[in-house]
Amino acid sequence: MKETAKYSQKKVLVLGLAKSGVTAASLLHKLGAFVTVNDMKPLSENPEAQGLLEQGIKVICGSHPIELLDEGFELIVKNPGIPYRNPLIKGALEKGIPVITEVELAYQISEAPFVGITGTNGKTTTTTLIFEMLKAGDKSPLIAGNIGTVASGVAKEAKAEDTIVIELSSFQLMGIEEFRPEIALVTNLYDAHLDYHSSKQEYAEAKAAITKNQQKTDFFVYNADQEDVRRMAAGSQAELVPFSATTKQEQGAYIEAGAVYFRGEKVMNTADIALPGKHNLENILAAISAVKLKDVSNEAIQSVLSSFHGVEHRLQYVATIKNRKFYNDSKATNILAASKALASFSEPTILLAGGLDRGNEFDELKASMKNVKAVVTFGQTAEKIERVAKEIGITNIKRVDNVVTAVPVAFELSNEGDCILLSPACASWDQYKTFEQRGDMFMEAVHKLK
């Protein structure tokens, strides 16, 4: 860990706990800051806050009192999930108090360089592939961010010879100041999180922050098939490394004659790739671009891609029961992700979908539902998804309470050779704390069905 006196004797407010807040508060305390933690959950129900209290850190729980801004804080470290319209955050910015996320703190103390991955879809798969390829190539990677361990916790232990591979959300990137990854990567850009961001432009600007501090010696890996991402690349100071699943890219990764190439060099045949789904080819091209810049051998890349079948909750194979295959795609928290999942299967499919209502309709899902023979819905958006299914002629539609009750109903609607796919097209927060919890409950219900 880099030694820094930057926070010594400084009054810092950590707003919102969860894993990142707890780690940030402990680290700042160790760096000599006067830390106050503020969390909505009452202290009696908040073991994380109780643990910080035992360390001698000041803790205020149960609300976000605006009066905290009168205590002379010089910095706020914000949980990424807390929106900027929060009165405390708005008030802090009006007073000129810097507001950062824990990722910025991680960068400031890290001895190791970062490979940062963002985008609307494919972040987790791409991040995992990069980590596994670097590991296979003996490049000493560490994984952090939305996938893996809290970034500042990883950075605290990282050595100069390591590489921190970090998945980054737009929420995290809105709170960076100096963060500068050696390699920044954008998988794609679609409408998302517009309940948090005021517009698609704000969302795009948040994503573009991943490259805002990069210099000519850094690399910006980007999806050349998307105009919005190409526009983002045009504003980067880093060396541009494009990837494309449709056109040849002399300076990046592409597919030609049934093989994957990087800068004219054949890496491997696409037939030898284990990961299903056309959309995953983009993730693979993105990951190959990043690791080739770190001098990973083709043999190491091949060993990963010939055996890697996906990450948890992303088109994850669960089981085959009476010749029906079950897949868990709980991480499909938007329409595009669900569309891509559906496009991965040619078998007759029973779709399990529904969740948090963010105000959007689901008509964009229609084009990818050609193989869907039945739909099982749940959550706040059940009625909206049922409408779309009826409009394209699907008659087998059942509404259930949750993903657990959806499993036996889907099985009853299926025949041998069918695929039963949980791909909700919605966030999980109407019924579940996380998409992981939703996916775990689905998988548990499938295994009970055996």
Burial 288-313 (b: 16+ CB within 10 A, else e): bbbbbbbebebebbbbbbeebebbeb
Taking only the tens place, the pLDDT of each residue in 235-288 is 999 999 999 999 999 999 999 999 999 999 999 999 999 987 777 899 999 999
Residues 206 and 332 in one domain: no
> What pLDDT does 194 receive?
53
User: Quick check: is 310 in a domain?
Assistant: no
HSE (side-chain half, CA atoms, 13 Å) at 78: 25
**Binding site residues for ATP, as ranges?**
119-125
Yes or no: say if 280 and 123 are a contact pair by the CB < 8 Å rule.
Answer: no
Helix axes 435-449 and 403-413, enclosed angle (nearest 10): 50
Structure confidence at residue 196 as a pLDDT band (50, 70, 90): low
DSSP designation for 149: B
Q: Determine the Cα–Cα distance for residues 261 and 318; give it in Å rounded to an integer.
A: 32
Yes or no: say if 301 and 133 are a contact pair by the CB < 8 Å rule.
Answer: yes
Please compute Rg for the chain using Cα positions: 23
Q: Determine the Cα–Cα distance for residues 18 and 386; give it in Å rounded to an integer.
A: 35
Residues 350 and 432 in one domain: yes
> What pLDDT does 286 receive?
98
**Chain centroid offset of residue 28 CA:** 26
User: Quick check: is 4 in a domain?
Assistant: no
Residues 369 and 401 in one domain: yes
Residues 119 and 69 in one domain: no
Q: What is the side-by-side order of every strand in the sheet holding 372-377?
A: 316-321, 324-328, 419-422, 349-353, 372-377, 396-399
Length of the chain: 450
Backbone angle region of 285, left / alpha / beta, with phi > 0 → left and psi within -120 to 50 → alpha? alpha
User: Quick check: is 228 in a domain?
Assistant: yes
User: Quick check: is 3 in a domain?
Assistant: no
Q: Determine the Cα–Cα distance for residues 106 and 110; give it in Å rounded to an integer.
A: 6
- Of 2-11, 310-319, 321-330, 389-398, the one with minimum mean pLDDT is 310-319
Joined together, the tokens standing for residue 198 give 């005021």
Q: Determine the Cα–Cα distance for residues 38 and 13; give it in Å rounded to an integer.
A: 7
Residues 300 and 153 in one domain: yes
Mean pLDDT along residues 400-424: 98
Mean pLDDT along residues 15-23: 91
Collapsing DSSP to helix, strand or coil, 164 comes out as strand
The letter for the amino acid at 297 is S
Q: Cβ neighbours of residue 181 under 8 Å, at least 6 residues apart?
A: 113, 114, 115, 116, 166, 210, 214, 218
Percent of the chain with pLDDT over 90: 86
Q: Where does a domain end: 244, 271, 305?
A: 305
User: Can you give the pTM of this predicted structure?
Assistant: 0.81
Residues 117 and 188 in one domain: yes
Mean pLDDT along residues 419-440: 96
- CATH value at residue 57: 3.40.50.720
Residues 72 and 130 in one domain: no
- Of 41-50, 96-105, 184-193, 314-323, the one with minimum mean pLDDT is 184-193
The letter for the amino acid at 355 is G
Domain that holds residue 29: 11-100
> What pLDDT does 315 receive?
86
Helix axes 227-234 and 200-208, enclosed angle (nearest 10): 50
**Binding site residues, as ranges?**
119-125
User: Quick check: is 6 in a domain?
Assistant: no
User: Quick check: is 443 in a domain?
Assistant: yes
Structure confidence at residue 25 as a pLDDT band (50, 70, 90): very high
pLDDT, the chain, mean:
94
Taking only the tens place, the pLDDT of each residue in 123-147 is 999 999 999 999 999 999 999 987 7
Residues 298 and 165 in one domain: yes
Collapsing DSSP to helix, strand or coil, 213 comes out as coil
User: Quick check: is 322 in a domain?
Assistant: yes
User: Quick check: is 441 in a domain?
Assistant: yes
Q: How far is CA 435 from CA 120, 271, 377, in A?
A: 16, 31, 16
Taking only the tens place, the pLDDT of each residue in 60-111 is 999 999 999 999 999 999 998 888 889 999 999 999 999 999 999 999 999 9
> What pLDDT does 191 receive?
64
203 or 366: which leads in pLDDT = 366
Q: How many domains does the chain have?
A: 3
Return the number of other C-beta atoms located less than 10 Å from residue 181's C-beta.
25
> What pLDDT does 197 receive?
47
Q: Where does a domain end: 282, 305, 328?
A: 305
Return the number of other C-beta atoms located less than 10 Å from residue 212's C-beta.
16
Q: Where does a domain end: 274, 305, 336?
A: 305
Yes or no: say if 42 and 121 are a contact pair by the CB < 8 Å rule.
Answer: no
Q: Determine the Cα–Cα distance for residues 39 and 32; give it in Å rounded to an integer.
A: 21
290 or 200: which leads in pLDDT = 290
- CATH value at residue 206: 3.40.1190.10
Q: Determine the Cα–Cα distance for residues 32 and 6; give it in Å rounded to an integer.
A: 9
Residues 229 and 91 in one domain: no
Residues 260 and 249 in one domain: yes
Residues 107 and 89 in one domain: no
Residues 181 and 245 in one domain: yes
